Copies of this chain bind each other. A is one copy, B any other.
Amino acid sequence: MKSVEEQMRIIAKGAKEIVGEEDLRNKLVRAIAENRGLTIKLGLDPSAPDIHLGHSVVLRKIRQMQDLGHRAVIVIGDFTGRIGDPTGKSKGRAALSEEQVKENAKTYTDQIFEIVDQEKTEVVFNSSWLKQLDFEEVIRLAASVTVARILERDDFTERYKNNVPIGLHEFFYPLMQAYDSVALKADIEIGGTDQTFNILMGRSLQKWMGMEAQAAVFMPILEGLDGVEKMSKSLGNYIGIHEPAEVMFKKVMEVPDSLIIRYYELVTDEHPDAVARLKEELTQGRNPRDVKYELARIVTNLYHKDEAANAEKYYKEAFMNKGIPESIPELVIDLDKDTLAGIIPKLIEEEYVKSGSEFRRILSQGGTSLNGRVLTMEELDQVLICGDVIKIGKKKFAKIIK
Bound form: Cα–Cα A131–B135 in Å: 6
A234 within 8 A of partner (CB): no
Are B148 and A163 in touch, CB under 8 angstroms? yes
Q: A133-B134, A151-B147 are in contact. Are A139 and B171 (CB under 8 A)?
A: no
How distant is A12 from chain B, measured CB to nearest CB, in Å?
34
A140 within 8 A of partner (CB): yes
Tell me the chain A residues, 136-155 only, with Cβ under 8 Å from chain B: 136-140, 142-148, 150-151
Q: Which residues of the partner chain B approach A132 to less than 8 Å between Cβ atoms?
A: 134-135
Are B82 and A139 in touch, CB under 8 angstroms? no
Q: A131-B135, A134-B133 are in contact. Are A169 and B148 (CB under 8 A)?
A: no
A87 within 8 A of partner (CB): yes
A285 within 8 A of partner (CB): no
Of all chain B residues, the one with the shortest Cβ separation from A95 is B136
How distant is A78 from chain B, measured CB to nearest CB, in Å?
12
Q: A136-B83, A148-B160, A160-B148 are in contact. Are A143 and B168 (CB under 8 A)?
A: yes
A130 within 8 A of partner (CB): yes
Most central of A83, A143, A160 by chain B CB within 10 Å: A143
* Pairs A-B, 7 closest by C-beta atoms: A86-B143, A142-B169, A142-B168, A143-B169, A133-B135, A147-B166, A146-B165
How distant is A348 from chain B, measured CB to nearest CB, in Å?
56
Which of these, B79, B136, B140, B167, contacts A145 with CB under 8 Å? B167
Bound form: Cα–Cα A166–B175 in Å: 16
Of all chain B residues, the one with the shortest Cβ separation from A163 is B148
Binding site for B on A (CB under 8 A): 79, 82-83, 86-87, 130-140, 142-148, 150-151, 156, 160, 163, 165-172, 175
Are A87 and B143 in touch, CB under 8 angstroms? yes
Bound form: Cα–Cα A79–B83 in Å: 25
Q: A131-B134, A133-B134, A134-B132 are in contact. Are A140 and B169 (CB under 8 A)?
A: yes
Name 29 interchain pairs, CB-CB below 8 A, sorted by A: A83-B140, A86-B140, A86-B143, A87-B143, A131-B136, A133-B135, A134-B134, A134-B135, A135-B137, A135-B138, A138-B138, A139-B169, A142-B167, A142-B168, A142-B171, A142-B172, A143-B168, A143-B169, A145-B167, A145-B168, A146-B168, A147-B147, A147-B151, A147-B160, A147-B171, A148-B165, A148-B166, A168-B171, A168-B175
How distant is A56 from chain B, measured CB to nearest CB, in Å?
33
Bound form: Cα–Cα A175–B172 in Å: 15
How distant is A81 from chain B, measured CB to nearest CB, in Å?
12
Bound form: Cα–Cα A134–B146 in Å: 22
Of all chain B residues, the one with the shortest Cβ separation from A156 is B147
Q: Which residues of the partner chain B approach A135 to less than 8 Å between Cβ atoms?
A: 79, 130-134, 137-138
Q: Which residues of the partner chain B approach A169 to less than 8 Å between Cβ atoms?
A: 139-140, 142-143
Known: A83-B136, A150-B168; 10 extra A-B contacts, CB below 8 A, are A86-B143, A131-B135, A132-B134, A132-B135, A135-B138, A144-B168, A147-B160, A147-B167, A147-B168, A148-B160
Bound form: Cα–Cα A228–B133 in Å: 48
How distant is A203 from chain B, measured CB to nearest CB, in Å?
17
Q: Which residues of the partner chain B approach A156 to less than 8 Å between Cβ atoms?
A: 147
How distant is A82 from chain B, measured CB to nearest CB, in Å?
7
Which of these, B134, B139, B151, B175, contacts A86 with CB under 8 Å? B139
Q: Which residues of the partner chain B approach A142 to less than 8 Å between Cβ atoms?
A: 86, 167-169, 171-172
